[in-house]
């Protein structure tokens, strides 16, 4: 029970009634009641405006107001003060009307005693307070809904929109309410909405759908809607839709997607391999060039670590560089990578530390340096030849003089009176000196330069001359030579004698391949490839062991018996061909033998068909 006194305002123009009521209230024992009494509505309204009144006892028949109007005016003046009408008029209709106008109770004078009046007042106060709380609560929720950044919509079980705080442009909230949600949303999204609503109904969980519609500025916008069931007493009565405008988010998403795609295109467009290695030592990402070069699929590659692809010899190099890399230094290192099929590729890796997905990782840009290595080797080889040439020139003079003496003395002795055995022995000395002289001649070929003697010449003529020279030897050795030459002349710039020497050497080498077998085949082919004349000499002999392929052009490399070859033939060919600005290389062919190919720059670019029909296949010699 409240301790504060109940402050009552009585508006009653009849002094008798007023006194009677005051006496009744004075009899109240349960609470202290303070009564103020005025005899005019105007005075009452004034007092109400001043505040501090807990309950109003109101007569409806006043000098300045009559009936319902009194009740309305009092309620308007002080909506929070409960009103108990106390009137002489026993009119049930009027009673109901006053209750509608905000009065809490309707009492008839003469039928009221102290207890009834007090109880009515107390209930009126309490009811008013509860009403007020409800109103405040509703106001709070309404304000929340109305001020929410989202569109909030309530649909009933027949999909009729029952409530909506606001709507998109082109619609008015009051028009939308009562509409079916399927009249409100564009037809192409009906399935999505239906699916979401059905899902939510089945599972009872929240669901969502995305739709496009006209946005607040009239342009098309994207909306994301979260929905959940609305239940009363355990029964589903509708669905609440919380709709957010996600146009901006969508735009950003698509920008990020585009940017990601652009980055991917760049990343994968790089010819070098690019790899990201996590600190834990696993590959985290790589570009397409990496996968193409190493032959792995992306899934396979991302399961690997550098130790799986770096050739073992180089692993400790990488480990020793880890500290530098961690410290933020950039390292450039030559190493070798092993492909899935076992091939080893020489590479140069440029590695640095980067920020990656919120952590630290290493970025390696890996270049295939096969070509560079080959060029380096070729350069080293040519340098070797040059220095060998210079050295030989120096030695030649010193060696040729004593050789001259040996030749002449042995000849002199052979012509003198000696036994036939001694003459034979002297012949050996003489021949050996001649052989030594031949070695010197071969060696000196290095010192030669072609530019003074280069002129336009037909490679086909040179080949035919060489084949003519070898004809006899080949016939007796059971060797068949066939040619597969382009039609017409094939012009290069060069020295005829030197190129004769090259082709002679290659053909004699091919013949050499049949030394231990009874004959064989040699095929000589000419082609044009990228402004170069290509001449290949292929045999079906025993081929060249893989490990010797790189060495056959090195000076003094020979597989012949000691005394049979100087080991300089191919080396001289190499010197001559590179001196002509050309290339020479050896490989094993599908006939089981070896193919030597000489590439020389064309003297002029000829328009030539290189189709097989344009070729003339001729067998110069068959046995």
Partner 1 sequence: MVTSSPKVLVVDDELHLCKILRRILEREGYKVKTATDGETALRFTKEERPDVILLDLMMPGIDGREVCRRVRQFSAATQIIYFTAKVMLTDPLKLKELHREADAFITKPATSKQILSKVSGVLQGAS
| Footprint on this chain of partner 1 (rule: CB under 8 A) | 393-394, 396-397, 400-409, 411-412, 433-434, 437, 440-441, 444, 447-448, 452-453
The span from the first CA to the last CA of the chain, in angstroms, equals 137
Rounded to a whole number of angstroms, the minimum distance from the CB of residue 451 to partner 1 is 10
Query: Of the two residues 299 and 398, which places its CB atom closer to partner 1 in the complex?
Result: 398
Distance in angstroms (rounded) separating the CA atoms of residues 332 and 350: 4
Dihedrals phi, psi of 619, to nearest 5 degrees: -105, 110
Q: Give the 3-state secondary structure of residue 355.
A: strand
Query: Of the two residues 174 and 452, which places its CB atom closer to partner 1 in the complex?
Result: 452
Query: Of the two residues 49 and 386, which places its CB atom closer to partner 1 in the complex?
Result: 386
Query: 221, 213 in Cβ contact below 8 A?
Result: yes
- Written as six digits, the tokens of 308 are 């799986």
Query: 61, 87 in Cβ contact below 8 A?
Result: yes
Query: Of the two residues 64 and 411, which places its CB atom closer to partner 1 in the complex?
Result: 411
Rounded to a whole number of angstroms, the minimum distance from the CB of residue 445 to partner 1 is 8
Query: Of the two residues 81 and 433, which places its CB atom closer to partner 1 in the complex?
Result: 433
**Are β-strands 616-621 and 594-601 bridged in parallel, bridged antiparallel, or unpaired?**
unpaired
Rounded to a whole number of angstroms, the minimum distance from the CB of residue 395 to partner 1 is 9
Query: Of the two residues 30 and 451, which places its CB atom closer to partner 1 in the complex?
Result: 451
Q: Give the 3-state secondary structure of residue 293.
A: helix
Distance in angstroms (rounded) separating the CA atoms of residues 511 and 503: 12
Rounded to a whole number of angstroms, the minimum distance from the CB of residue 334 to partner 1 is 38
Query: Of the two residues 27 and 451, which places its CB atom closer to partner 1 in the complex?
Result: 451
Closest C-alpha among 552, 460, 486 to residue 513: 552
Rounded to a whole number of angstroms, the minimum distance from the CB of residue 407 to partner 1 is 5
Query: 272, 289 in Cβ contact below 8 A?
Result: yes
Beta strands (DSSP E) in 195-320 are 207-214, 220-232, 235-245, 273-278, 283-286
Query: Of the two residues 63 and 394, which places its CB atom closer to partner 1 in the complex?
Result: 394
DSSP per-residue codes, 382-448: HHHHHHHHHHHHHHHHHHHHHHHHHHHHHHHHHTSS--HHHHHHHHHHHHHHHHHHHHHHHHHGGG-
Rounded to a whole number of angstroms, the minimum distance from the CB of residue 386 to partner 1 is 13
Closest C-alpha among 315, 167, 307, 150 to residue 227: 150
Rounded to a whole number of angstroms, the minimum distance from the CB of residue 581 to partner 1 is 18
Provide CB contacts within 8 A for 210, sequence distance 6+: 192, 222, 223, 224, 225, 246
Torsion over CA: 538, 507, 568, 477 (sign)? positive
Query: Of the two residues 256 and 408, which places its CB atom closer to partner 1 in the complex?
Result: 408
Rounded to a whole number of angstroms, the minimum distance from the CB of residue 325 to partner 1 is 53
Query: Of the two residues 437 and 620, which places its CB atom closer to partner 1 in the complex?
Result: 437
Query: 53, 81 in Cβ contact below 8 A?
Result: yes
Rounded to a whole number of angstroms, the minimum distance from the CB of residue 438 to partner 1 is 10
Distance in angstroms (rounded) separating the CA atoms of residues 412 and 408: 6
> How many Cα neighbours within 13 Å face the side chain of 469?
13
Rounded to a whole number of angstroms, the minimum distance from the CB of residue 313 to partner 1 is 42
Query: 584, 597 in Cβ contact below 8 A?
Result: yes
Rounded to a whole number of angstroms, the minimum distance from the CB of residue 446 to partner 1 is 9
Query: Of the two residues 213 and 575, which places its CB atom closer to partner 1 in the complex?
Result: 575
Query: Of the two residues 255 and 431, which places its CB atom closer to partner 1 in the complex?
Result: 431
Rounded to a whole number of angstroms, the minimum distance from the CB of residue 415 to partner 1 is 8
Distance in angstroms (rounded) separating the CA atoms of residues 13 and 457: 142
**Are β-strands 161-164 and 65-66 bridged in parallel, bridged antiparallel, or unpaired?**
unpaired
């Amino acid at each position: 029970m409240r301790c504060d006194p109940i402050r009552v305002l009585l508006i009653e123009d009849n002094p008798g009634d007023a006194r009677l009521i005051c006496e009744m209230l004075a009899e109240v024992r349960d609470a202290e009641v303070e009564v103020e009494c005025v005899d005019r509505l105007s005075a009452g309204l004034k007092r109400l405006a001043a505040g501090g009144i807990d309950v109003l006892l109101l007569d409806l028949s006043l000098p300045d107001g009559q009936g319902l109007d009194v009740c309305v005016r009092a309620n308007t003046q002080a909506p929070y003060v409960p009103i108990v009408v106390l009137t002489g008029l026993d009119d049930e209709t009027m009673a109901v009307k006053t209750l509608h106008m905000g009065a809490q109770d309707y009492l008839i004078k003469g039928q009221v005693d102290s207890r009834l009046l007090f109880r009515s007042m107390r209930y009126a106060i309490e009811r008013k307070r509860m009403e007020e709380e409800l109103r405040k609560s509703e106001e709070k929720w309404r304000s929340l809904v109305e001020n929410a950044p989202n569109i909030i919509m309530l649909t009933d079980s027949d999909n009729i929109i029952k409530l909506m705080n606001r709507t998109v442009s082109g619609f008015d909230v009051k028009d939308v309410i009562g509409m079916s949600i399927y009249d409100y949303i564009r037809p192409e999204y009906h399935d999505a909405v239906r699916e979401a609503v059905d899902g939510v109904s089945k599972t009872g969980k929240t669901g969502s759908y995305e739709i496009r519609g006209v946005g607040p500025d009239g342009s098309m916008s994207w909306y994301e809607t979260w929905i959940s069931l609305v239940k009363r007493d355990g029964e589903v009565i509708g669905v609440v839709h919380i709709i957010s405008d996600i146009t901006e988010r969508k735009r950003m998403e698509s920008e990020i997607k585009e940017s990601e795609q652009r980055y991917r295109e760049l990343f994968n467009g790089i010819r070098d391999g690019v790899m990201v290695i996590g600190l834990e030592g696993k590959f985290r990402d790589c570009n397409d060039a990496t996968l193409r070069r190493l032959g792995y699929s992306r899934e396979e590659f991302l399961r690997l670590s550098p130790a799986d692809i770096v050739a073992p010899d180089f692993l400790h190099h990488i480990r020793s560089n880890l500290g530098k890399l961690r410290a933020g230094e950039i390292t450039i290192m030559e190493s070798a990578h092993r492909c899935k099929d076992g091939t080893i590729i020489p590479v140069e890796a440029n590695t640095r530390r980067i920020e990656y997905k919120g952590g630290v990782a290493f970025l390696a840009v890996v270049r295939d340096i096969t070509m560079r290595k080959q060029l380096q080797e070729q350069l080293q080889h040519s340098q070797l030849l040059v220095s060998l040439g210079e050295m030989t020139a120096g030695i030649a003079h010193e060696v040729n003089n004593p050789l001259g003496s040996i030749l002449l003395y042995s000849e002199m002795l052979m012509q003198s009176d000696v036994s036939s055995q001694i003459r034979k022995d002297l012949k050996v000395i003489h021949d050996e000196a001649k052989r030594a002289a031949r070695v010197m001649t071969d060696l000196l070929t290095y010192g030669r330069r072609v530019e003074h003697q280069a002129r336009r010449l037909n490679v086909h003529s040179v080949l035919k001359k060489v084949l003519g020279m070898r004809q006899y030897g080949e016939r007796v050795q059971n060797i068949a030579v066939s040619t597969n030459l382009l039609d017409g002349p094939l012009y290069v710039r060069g020295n005829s004698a030197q190129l004769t020497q090259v082709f002679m050497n290659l053909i004699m080498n091919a013949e050499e391949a049949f030394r231990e077998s009874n004959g064989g085949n040699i095929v000589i082919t000419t082609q044009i490839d990228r402004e170069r004349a290509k001449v290949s000499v292929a045999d079906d002999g025993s081929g060249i062991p893989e490990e010797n392929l790189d060495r056959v052009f090195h000076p003094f490399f020979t597989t012949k018996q000691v005394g049979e070859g100087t080991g300089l033939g191919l080396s001289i060919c190499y010197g001559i061909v590179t001196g002509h600005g050309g290339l020479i290389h050896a490989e094993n062919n599908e006939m089981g033998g070896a193919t030597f190919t000489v590439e020389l720059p064309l003297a002029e670019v000829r328009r030539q068909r290189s189709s097989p029909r344009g070729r003339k296949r001729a067998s110069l010699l068959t046995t």
